[in-house]
Amino acid sequence: MLAALWFFGAVSLYAEDESPSNSTEQTSEKSAMSWPLEYIIQPFLNGLIYPLAKPVDYAIKNGIIEKSVELISFGEDYKIMIYPSFNFKPGSRTMVGANYRHRSVFLEKDYLVMQGEYYANGDVGLTARYVKHSLFGTSLFGGFRYDIDLDRDKRFNIPETKESYLQPDSSYQFTWRLGAPITKTANWNAELWASLYFSRASHPDIQDSVLISDDYKIEDRGLYQNVTQVPVGLSLVYDNLDLPYAPSRGSRVVLNGTYTFVGKYSGVRYDDLGISIEDGQDEVIKDGGKKHDFYTTEFIFQHYFLLGSSHQYVLSAKEARENRRFYTDFSWEEAVRVWRPENMRNTLFERRVIAMQYRLVSIWELEEGGAPHDAFINLNSKAPLRGYDDKWVTHNLMSFSVEYRWPVDRLVDGVIFDEYALIAPKIDKWSLDHYYNSWGFGIRVRQPDLYLFRLQFGFHGLHGVNLIMTIAPEFK
C-alpha cells in the first residue's frame, strides 16, 4: 500500500511539473493533490523510516564503517583485524564473541582466523583455521582447521519430519586440506581434504525428551552415544569471478564428493535413559551392527550479472562520497525524482548485481537405516534458506536463491533475496508437499577480497523472522 501511495505521488507530481505554471486551475489542482502527500503521507513515511534513517544517516555522514574498519585493523598494512560479534536470538542462542584475522602471520600468502562464541546458557564455540598459498614455492595451497562445539541445547531431527529431540553434545574436529590449480589460468582447482571428528553426545536430563522408536533406533543412529567419524572429500571448483567477495560478473561451479567412515557407537546405559531393564537383558544398548558409513554428493552453480553501463560494481572513494548524498539528503522530493519513469532504469538497473545460486546435495547410506543422526542435510539459513532455522533434515535438498545487490558505500552492499527449496527422502521422490520459500533483506559488509560480516532478516510466510548475523558469506 505504501509503495502504491509513493508511486501515485511520484506520478502525480511528475504530471504536474509538465503542466503550464500560469494556469490558476492547474495550480489549484496541484495544491489539492499535493496537500495529502505533503501533510499526511510524507509525515507517516518519515515516522516509519525515522528509527532506521537517522542511524544510517549518522553512520554514513561520519564515515562510521570506514572508521570502524580502521579501528579494528592493526599492524603493518593493516594485516591484523580484531573485532567483536554478537547475535540476539530468543532463548539460549543469544551469543557474544570475538574474531581475530591475520594475513601473512607466519609466511607470505598465509592467513589465520580465530573465532570464539559464548552463548547465554554457557555454551561455547571455538574455531581456528589457517590457510597457506604457494606451498613450498609451488602452486599448491593447504589449510588446517580446528573446531570445538560445546552445546548443551543441541537437538537432532528425524529426517523428513519436524520431530526434534534434545541431545547435549560436545564435538571436536580437525580438518586438513590440500589443493592445486589444474589449469594454467587457475580457473579450475582440485582440493582433497580429510577430517577427524569426535562427537561426545550425552542423554538429556529430562527423560521425556529421550527418543524410543523402532523406526529410528538408538543402536543404529548413534543417539546419546559417542562416535568417531573420518570424512574424506574431493572438490572440483571452476571460478572465473571478477572479485572474491564482491563479484559482479562470472560463474562458479562446485562439485563435492565426501565419503565418511563411521566408527562403532560407544553404547548407552538403559538406566541413563530412564528405561527399565527386562530380566536377562544387557544393561547397555550396544551398537546394532549395521554399517554406518555414508557418502555425500553436492553440486553448486552460481552466476552473477552486472546490470547497467558501469564497468565495475565496487564504488571508488569519490563515487562513495557522491553516493552518500542519496542516503544522507534523502527527502520526499528526492524520492519523487528517483522514481520518475525516466529515472526508473537508472534507479533499478544501474550498477546493480543479480546473484543466483542453484544447489543440489544428497546423502547416500551404505546400509539403509545405519547412518548416524548427524549425517543428514539441514534446511536452514546455510542452505541457504534464510527464513528457516533447522526446521527439517533430509536425504536430498535442492535450492535456488536469487539476490539483488546494490552498493550503499565502498564496503557495504544492500541485499534483497528470494529463495526456494525442495526436500525429498529419495532422489526421485521430489514433491511440492515439501516446497519452501523464504525472502528477506539486509546488508553485507566486505572488502573486494575480504569478507567481514552480514546482517540479514529472513522471512517465510507469516511465521516470524530469522535474524542472521555472521562472518560467513551467503555463498559469495
The predicted pLDDT at position 373 comes to 94
Which has more confidence, 309 or 344?
Answer: 309
Question: How much is the average pLDDT of 50-74?
Answer: 68
The predicted pLDDT at position 5 comes to 37
Write down the number of H helices and E strands in the chain: 8, 23
Separation of alpha carbons 141 and 128, rounded Å: 17
Terminal CA-to-CA distance of the chain, rounded, Å? 34
Query: At 278, is the pLDDT very low, low, confident or very high (cuts 50, 70, 90)?
Result: confident
Separation of alpha carbons 327 and 346, rounded Å: 16
Separation of alpha carbons 315 and 328, rounded Å: 17
Question: How much is the average pLDDT of 314-343?
Answer: 67
Q: Which of 210-214, 238-242, 407-411 has the lowest mean pLDDT?
A: 407-411
The predicted pLDDT at position 77 comes to 79
The predicted pLDDT at position 65 comes to 67
Query: At 341, is the pLDDT very low, low, confident or very high (cuts 50, 70, 90)?
Result: low
Separation of alpha carbons 366 and 418, rounded Å: 35
Evaluate if residue 6 carries a pLDDT over 50.
no
Question: How much is the average pLDDT of 226-230?
Answer: 97
The predicted pLDDT at position 40 comes to 64
Separation of alpha carbons 220 and 62, rounded Å: 59
Question: How much is the average pLDDT of 348-354?
Answer: 89
Q: Which three cell numbers stand for residue 358?
A: 542453484
The predicted pLDDT at position 365 comes to 97
Question: How much is the average pLDDT of 450-456?
Answer: 86
The predicted pLDDT at position 88 comes to 72
The predicted pLDDT at position 102 comes to 93
Helical H segments across 18-120, by residue range: 24-36, 42-61, 64-71
Nearest to 169 by CA among 193, 153, 189, 146: 153
Residues 85-141: tens digit of each pLDDT: 877 766 677 889 999 999 999 988 899 999 999 998 899 999 999 999 999 889 999
Separation of alpha carbons 110 and 106, rounded Å: 7
The predicted pLDDT at position 450 comes to 82
Residues 134-192: tens digit of each pLDDT: 998 899 999 999 999 999 889 899 999 888 899 999 999 999 999 999 988 779 999 99
Q: 453, 473 in Cβ contact below 8 A?
A: no
Q: For all residues of the chain together, what is the average pLDDT?
A: 83
Task: Provide the 10 A C-beta neighbour count for residue 33.
Answer: 16
Q: 47, 66 in Cβ contact below 8 A?
A: no
Question: How much is the average pLDDT of 213-220?
Answer: 93
Nearest to 246 by CA among 442, 457, 65, 413: 413
Q: 150, 123 in Cβ contact below 8 A?
A: yes
Residues 388-425: tens digit of each pLDDT: 877 789 999 999 999 999 888 888 888 999 999 999 99
The predicted pLDDT at position 93 comes to 73
Q: Which of 13-22, 29-38, 424-433, 465-474 has the lowest mean pLDDT?
A: 13-22
Question: In what helix (H) or strand (E) does residue 352 lie, and over which residues does it extend?
Answer: strand 352-365
Question: How much is the average pLDDT of 216-233?
Answer: 96
Query: At 230, is the pLDDT very low, low, confident or very high (cuts 50, 70, 90)?
Result: very high
Separation of alpha carbons 11 and 283, rounded Å: 78
Instruction: Fill in the amino acid letter for 341.
Output: P
Query: At 2, is the pLDDT very low, low, confident or very high (cuts 50, 70, 90)?
Result: very low
Evaluate if residue 25 carries a pLDDT over 80.
no
The predicted pLDDT at position 282 comes to 85
